[in-house]
Amino acid sequence: MKVHATPIEGVVVIEPEVFGDQRGYFFESYSQARFDAAVRPVRFVQDNESMSRRGVVRGLHFQRGRFAQSKLVRVVEGCVLDVAVDIRRGSPTFGRHVAVELSAENRLQLFVPRGFAHGFSVLSPTARFQYKCDNPYAPETEGAVAWDDPAIGIDWRLSPDEVLLSPKDAAHPRLAEAPELFDYNIDYYA
């Protein structure tokens, strides 16, 4: 696998090595040893999958405290714009984001470390999205930031009339108003 740095330290794009011939293709989508050596040691404990239709925006979500999550995400059908936002107060990249197109065709994966909010928009008619998490879902620790916060300035690559949100995702606070975030000076992996 190849690991590509992004403008925000810790957030990386992973490109698998694909072996193909007239029969089709094969690639290793995840190897604990290779991931730990190339990115950072992370013990994933839960795999999730969602299916969404075009225009759906999910996010920008995170979990706080001892349930903070790293995510390794990929698309197995369709295409999404995947986004990680630095929400570590004191970080030199606080409020900045990385946006990467993930698709079944490009097979790219995005690693979103603890201390980041995560979301995606669906650009294809439908998309199946898979993600590994290093902490289980803990609803009492959920946090979120408004998907359309102008201070973050994400271009979701959808027209406003296409955007489909859950009632919960439509009501998140802007980054400046978010009550509990992360502290850049704390190691959330310790």
Query: 180 vs 72, 174, 183, CA distance in Å?
Result: 23, 12, 10
Residue closest to 76 by CA, chosen among 137, 29, 113, 23: 29
The answer to whether residues 138 and 65 touch, using CB atoms and an 8 Å cutoff, is: no
The answer to whether residues 107 and 74 touch, using CB atoms and an 8 Å cutoff, is: yes
- Whether 118 is catalytic: no
Catalytic residue selected from 4, 61, 118, 184: 61
Give the distance from CA 144 to its chain's centroid. Answer: 13
| Cβ partners under 8 Å of residue 5, min gap 6 | 12
Q: Tokens 């011939």 sit at which residue? A: 21
CA distance 39 to 13: 10
- Whether 61 is catalytic: yes
Catalytic residue selected from 97, 118, 131, 172: 131
The catalytic residue positions are: 61, 131
